């Protein structure tokens, strides 16, 4: 009973938050979006938007950092805190826009951000700035009156900051992709090469990255005169959020003379901009005709680098040495090198000693890695180059309206293809779980809320049966919500109108407590010939699908040390059962001594006579 009250209270708080933010965004009457931080050190999580696509909203708030809105003291009033009011940003894809981001503050903490958007070339008037200031005040006041700052909806404290992850024992012969390519030997050699290049081209800070096409990121391998906390070896830069990524996608060098105009969307320029660097140059280098990585040089001398082509030629010696370094098999830097013969022989011998199921898993994983490398190098990389060229054409404004519209339509289709590729390649990467204390009913209810519209439209009846006392679990909330959402969506696809979806959650006690989640639907059962293939990658019976939904579900569940099974029978529907570990309940410690009934007598002895 108490659990139901807590769940209904949480749902009410969430709906109040959504209603408040939606009302303010609608009142603004222009393209805008609002994001909230659910805990003090967390990222901005988008809540509501108007006139912006989901991809645009995610990109905007991914580029924002609450560190930019720290409280600073005014020079004139030493005891009065002054908050930086707004940050100007620029978005170039899929449509060029200028943005004005303003912080939402409760006391000394920034709990969210409000963003206004206009087309490229437009200006924010004083009326717009007044409107955003009024909206900020309205949001904070209404959320304060609703007492949401004292709940788990906004700025809640994280129960578990960090938890050491116990790596699962890897199967023999499995070829997992490395999580990092950085090591002291590689770092030392790259630092030496960068210091040698100072004689050719001066710089104050420089680093070399390795391009990982499967992860769509660049990893810093070595750095000269790096910052204490940022842009160090091992740090990764995403292609869409870094100037180095721009150079990889365009396959050409880049020079920036004014970091103030780009630091909003290029994360690798933020620290350089803070330290007053004036000029940067990025040069991609190639191995066997493919982009292997980039060289970045930064200086505090204005206009030191003037011509991208001329200055890049001066670094040809460094590029050649880096290419040889990447082809050194002992360093394992070349992502496309042929497999080592010795490794192949040892793998074969291990496979011969293994059982048949293990061999099949190894072969599947090896084939998956090979396909992923091919897709990343031969398809996604050229697609990124094509998209980059189309962005340049649309940004120039030289096309007429009809041609501009056709190019933008093609760009949207291109982005959709890239999204599918990301989904395929993400499956090949090892999972990194961010575990936190969470409750199973909350995760299930949140996943159901995301498909609530479809449930109502198809008149699907949902029955929930949760055990009265469920132990807490330590899961990755985002990934487990993806698991439940995928199962629910498959159930919707199998059921006709007025179907029945039943969710049962029970607790299993013992040396290792478990949570058993059963999700049953009375829809069309899974054909017997498909029962053994539903968890295999790229297997699908849908016209539009990658066949990675249930394969990803199984991967996430097993990474949580759990187990998933599906049972399907004619006239009985399909049941998905998940067994996942739970935390052991804490037993309060009692001190040994006199029983509780002896306490009153002791108190009588202490009373005055």
Does residue 111 sit in the same domain as residue 194?
no
- Beta-carbon contacts of residue 278 (< 8 Å; ≥ 6 apart): 257, 259, 299, 300, 301, 302, 303, 304
Prior bond of 94 cis (ω within 30°): yes
Query: With left for phi above 0 and alpha for psi between -120 and 50, is residue 582 left, alpha or beta?
Result: beta
Q: What is the pLDDT of residue 538?
A: 67
Give CA–CA dist 95/91, Å, rounded: 7
Does residue 351 sit in the same domain as residue 440?
no
User: SS3 string of 319-363?
Assistant: HHHHHHHHCCCCCCCCCCCCCCHHHHHHHHHHHHHCCHHHHHHHH
Does residue 67 sit in the same domain as residue 105?
yes
- 302 is written with which tokens? 């204005």
Backbone φ and ψ of 392, nearest 5°: -65, -40
Does residue 135 sit in the same domain as residue 226?
no
Say which residue the tokens 């060098």 belong to: 253
Residue 105's CATH number: 3.30.450.40
Spell out where 152-272 has E strands: 205-212, 217-224, 236-238, 254-256
In a domain, 134, yes or no: yes
In a domain, 594, yes or no: no
Average pLDDT over every residue of 307-326: 88
In a domain, 595, yes or no: no
- 309 is written with which tokens? 């082509």
Give CA–CA dist 237/267, Å, rounded: 8
Does residue 440 sit in the same domain as residue 424?
no
In a domain, 606, yes or no: no
Q: Is the per-residue pLDDT at 139 higher than 80? A: yes
Does residue 406 sit in the same domain as residue 441?
no
264: pLDDT confidence band, cut at 50, 70 and 90?
low
**How many other CB atoms are found less than 10 A from the CB of residue 119?**
10
Does residue 331 sit in the same domain as residue 407?
yes
Give CA–CA dist 20/146, Å, rounded: 10
- Lay out the sheet containing 236-238: strands in order across: 236-238, 217-224, 205-212, 290-299, 279-287, 254-256
203: pLDDT confidence band, cut at 50, 70 and 90?
very high
| Last-in-domain residue among 382, 404, 430 | 430
Does residue 125 sit in the same domain as residue 188?
no
- 84 is written with which tokens? 């930086």
| Last-in-domain residue among 405, 430, 455 | 430
- 237 is written with which tokens? 């830069």
Q: What is the pLDDT of residue 50?
A: 86
Opening angle at CA 57, ends 11 and 230, nearest 5: 105
In a domain, 601, yes or no: no
207: pLDDT confidence band, cut at 50, 70 and 90?
very high
> Which is more confidently placed, 603 or 257?
257
- Beta-carbon contacts of residue 24 (< 8 Å; ≥ 6 apart): 34, 135, 138, 139
**How many other CB atoms are found less than 10 A from the CB of residue 577?**
15
Does residue 402 sit in the same domain as residue 520?
no
Q: Is the per-residue pLDDT at 261 higher than 50? A: yes
Say which residue the tokens 């000029």 belong to: 279
Does residue 178 sit in the same domain as residue 301?
yes
Q: What is the pLDDT of residue 15?
A: 67
Task: Give the mean pLDDT of the chain.
Answer: 76
Residue 482's CATH number: 3.30.565.10
pTM above 0.85, yes or no: no
In a domain, 20, yes or no: yes
Does residue 322 sit in the same domain as residue 461?
no
Does residue 479 sit in the same domain as residue 398?
no
The SS3 assignment for 389 reads helix
**Concatenated DSSP letters for 267-285?**
GGGHHHHHTT--EEEEEEE
- Beta-carbon contacts of residue 200 (< 8 Å; ≥ 6 apart): 314, 315, 317, 318
Percent of all residues in the chain with a pLDDT value above 90, rounded to a whole number: 13
Q: What is the pLDDT of residue 161?
A: 36
Look up the domain containing 276 and give its range: 172-430
Q: Is 401 exposed, middle or buried (0-12, 13-18, 19+ CB in 10 A)?
A: exposed
Count structural domains, the chain: 3
Q: Is the per-residue pLDDT at 329 higher than 70? A: yes
Window from 37-51, 372-386, 477-491 with minimum mean pLDDT? 372-386
Give CA–CA dist 587/201, Å, rounded: 66
């Amino acid at each position: 009973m108490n659990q139901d009250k807590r769940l209904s209270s949480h749902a009410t708080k969430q709906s109040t938050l959504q209603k408040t933010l939606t009302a303010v965004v609608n009142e603004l009457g222009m393209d805008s979006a609002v994001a909230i931080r659910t805990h003090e050190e967390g990222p901005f999580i988008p809540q509501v938007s108007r006139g912006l696509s989901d991809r645009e909203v995610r990109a905007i708030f991914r580029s924002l950092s609450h560190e930019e809105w720290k409280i600073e003291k005014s020079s004139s009033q030493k005891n009065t805190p002054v908050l930086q009011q707004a940050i100007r940003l620029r978005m170039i894809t899929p449509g060029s826009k200028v943005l004005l981001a303003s912080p939402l503050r409760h006391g000394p903490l920034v709990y969210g951000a409000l963003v206004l958007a206009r087309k490229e070339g437009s200006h924010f008037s004083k009326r717009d700035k007044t409107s955003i200031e009024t909206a900020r005040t309205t949001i904070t006041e209404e959320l304060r009156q609703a007492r949401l700052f004292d709940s788990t909806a906004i700025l809640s404290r994280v129960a578990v900051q960090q938890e050491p992850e116990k790596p699962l024992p890897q199967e023999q012969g499995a070829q997992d992709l490395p999580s990092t390519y950085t090591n002291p030997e590689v770092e030392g050699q790259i630092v030496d090469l960068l210091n040698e290049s100072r004689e050719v081209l001066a710089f104050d800070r420089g680093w070399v990255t390795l391009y990982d096409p499967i992860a769509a990121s660049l990893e810093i391998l070595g750095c000269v005169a790096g910052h204490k906390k940022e842009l160090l070896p091992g740090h990764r830069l995403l292609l869409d959020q870094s100037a180095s990524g721009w150079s990889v996608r365009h396959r050409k060098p880049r020079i920036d003379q004014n970091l103030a105009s780009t630091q909003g969307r290029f994360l690798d320029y933020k620290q350089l901009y803070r330290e007053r660097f004036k000029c940067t140059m990025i040069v991609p280098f190639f191995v066997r005709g493919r982009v292997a990585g980039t060289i970045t040089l930064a200086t505090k001398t204005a206009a030191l680098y003037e011509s991208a082509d001329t200055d890049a030629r001066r670094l040809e010696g460094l590029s050649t040495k880096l290419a040889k370094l990447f082809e050194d098999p002992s360093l394992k830097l070349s992502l496309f090198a042929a497999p080592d013969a010795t490794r192949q022989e040892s793998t074969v011998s291990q496979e011969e000693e293994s059982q048949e199921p293990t061999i099949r898993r190894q072969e599947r994983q090896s084939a998956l890695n090979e396909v992923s490398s091919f897709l990343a190098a031969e398809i996604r990389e050229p697609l990124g180059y094509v998209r980059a060229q189309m962005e340049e054409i649309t940004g120039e404004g030289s096309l007429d309206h009809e041609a501009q519209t056709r190019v933008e339509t093609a760009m949207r289709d291109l982005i959709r293809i890239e999204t599918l590729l990301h989904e395929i390649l993400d499956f090949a990467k090892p999972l990194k779980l961010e575990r936190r204390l969470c409750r199973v009913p909350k995760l299930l209810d949140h996943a159901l809320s995301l498909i609530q519209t479809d449930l109502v439209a198809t008149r699907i009846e949902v029955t929930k049966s949760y055990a009265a006392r469920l132990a807490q679990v330590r899961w990755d909330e985002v990934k487990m919500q993806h698991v439940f959402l995928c199962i629910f969506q498959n159930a919707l696809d199998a059921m006709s109108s007025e179907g029945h979806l039943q969710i049962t959650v029970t607790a299993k006690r013992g040396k290792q407590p478990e949570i058993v989640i059963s999700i049953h639907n009375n829809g069309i059962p899974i054909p017997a010939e498909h029962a053994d293939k539903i968890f295999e990658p790229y297997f699908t019976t849908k016209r539009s699908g990658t066949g990675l939904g249930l394969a990803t579900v199984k991967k996430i569940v097993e990474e949580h040390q759990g187990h998933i099974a599906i049972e399907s029978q004619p006239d009985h529907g399909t049941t998905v059962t998940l067994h996942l570990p739970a935390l052991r309940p804490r037993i309060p410690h009692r001190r040994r001594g006199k029983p509780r009934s002896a306490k009153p007598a002791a108190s009588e002895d202490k009373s005055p006579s």
